[in-house]
Structures are given as structure tokens and as C-alpha cells.
Amino acid sequence: MVIGYRSWVTGLAYVPPSWGVHLNNLLMLFAVGLFGLGSSKSRFRGALRHPMLSGVIVWAVAHLLVNGDWTSVVLFGGLAVWAVVEMVVINRAVPVWDRPEPGTKGGDIRLIIISLVIFSVISGIHTWLGYWPFPG
């Protein structure tokens, strides 16, 4: 996906807002937390039926805030649509959801720390690839 994304050159679909970088980083931190929420021992693990798919949607929207080219619209928009469709398919196939028991305050703290570390690693990888993820 990375190679295809970097090699496909398209025009601009829209001009991203100047404030999008700030909101992108906040949403990305939230998306990383959602990815980990389903596997965590957090008190909030039963708050969403599909925390990882919700994380994909938040991740995609965050990236669309800072990337206005058609390549990004196809990649990130397509993955957001896939996540929504997947939620609908899962909900129809398994209409009753057994909500997991809430975890502990310690689980909340671990989720936050792990999310911050992973966010830092992702930011480092973006920097290494040549995409500075922070406002300039």
C-alpha cells in the first residue's frame, strides 16, 4: 500500500484546511487508543462494539484532513468505507453483542501509556519516511 500510495501521482481533490494538522494529531492519538481498546483491560473496553474498526475510521478521517490529493481520497476514503461496511456486516451476522466486563483503572493507565508510545513510534516512522507529522 505504501509503495502504491507513493508512486501514484494525482491532482488535488480539495485544499486541506490549515488547522487540519493540529486536529490530525489529536485524532491520530485517539485512533491509536481505539485500536488498543478492544484488547485492553481498560474500564472502557465495552464502550464500543467495534473499537478497532472505529479506529480505522478516525485514522482515515484524520489523514483526509491533511491530504487533499485524489490518491489519499481513494486510499483513506476507501478504508473508511470498508470499515463502515464491515461494521454493518458484522452487526447483521451477529446481532447480539456480549459486552465485555469493564477493566480496571490500571488498565486505563496502561492503555494511555501504550497509546502514547505507539503514537510516538508512528510519528517517528512518518518522519523517517519524509512526512513530518507535526505543525511546522
> Domain boundaries in the chain?
14-128
Higher pLDDT, 3 or 58: 58
Q: What is the pLDDT of residue 33?
A: 96
Tell me how far CA of residue 129 lies from CA of 85, 122, 132, in angstroms.
Answer: 31, 11, 9
Q: What is the pLDDT of residue 132?
A: 85
Tell me how far CA of residue 28 lies from CA of 58, 74, 88, 94, in angstroms.
Answer: 7, 19, 23, 29
- Per-residue pLDDT reduced to its tens digit, 75-132: 999 999 999 999 999 999 999 999 888 899 999 999 999 999 999 999 999 999 888 8
Whether the per-residue pLDDT at 2 is higher than 80: the answer is no
Q: What is the pLDDT of residue 88?
A: 98
Q: What is the pLDDT of residue 3?
A: 80
Please provide the DSSP assignment of 92-118 as one string: HHS----PPPP-BHHHHHHHHHHHHHH
Whether the per-residue pLDDT at 1 is higher than 80: the answer is no
- Per-residue pLDDT reduced to its tens digit, 26-66: 999 999 999 999 889 999 988 999 999 999 999 999 999 99
Q: What is the pLDDT of residue 134?
A: 86
- Confidence class for position 10, pLDDT limits 50, 70, 90: confident
What is the spatial distance between Cα 32 and Cα 111, in angstroms, rounded to a whole number? 10
